[in-house]
Amino acid sequence: GYAKDYPPDVSELGRSSWTLLHSIAATYPENPSTKEQQDLKQFVKLFGNFYPCWFCRDDFVKYIDKNEPKVETQDNFGKWLCEAHNEVNVKLGKPKFNCNLWKQRWKNGWDNDDN
């Protein structure tokens, strides 16, 4: 549990945010329409602009500027997001996650034959 219920610290905010973002990837259409692609790209940029940790935000916004979100398919987006998350992992000295496994972690589960 958390030491206190409020306000969230950088770690708790981060865990919650990554959970939301990877879950969005997991439910994003396999073959999105042009509008869905535009909307997701816009969402990721705006999410970055309003991210409530300023030093996290500055680096994330810069990362997005250099690495446009890939939104053509669900798998493209899932892997793009995994790579963006890895960028932060490296910055924090955490191990990189194997992005070929993003779907096991965030969509299908580890024991599912669909992986």
Residues near ligand FAD (CB under 6 A) are 10-11, 14-15, 17-18, 22, 51, 55-56, 59-60, 82, 85-86, 88-89, 91-92, 97, 102, 105
Q: How far is the CB of 75 from ligand FAD (least distance, A)?
A: 13
Q: How far is the CB of 82 from ligand FAD (least distance, A)?
A: 4
Structure tokens at 71: 């939104």
Residue number, nearest CB to ligand FAD: 14
Pick 35 or 74: Cβ nearer ligand FAD: 74
CA-nearest of 81, 95, 78 to 26 is 78
Q: Is 35 exposed, middle or buried (0-12, 13-18, 19+ CB in 10 A)?
A: exposed
Contact 87, 96 (CB under 8 A): no
Pick 33 or 111: Cβ nearer ligand FAD: 111
Structure tokens at 54: 């300023």
Pick 32 or 64: Cβ nearer ligand FAD: 64
Q: How far is the CB of 70 from ligand FAD (least distance, A)?
A: 14
Contact 83, 67 (CB under 8 A): yes
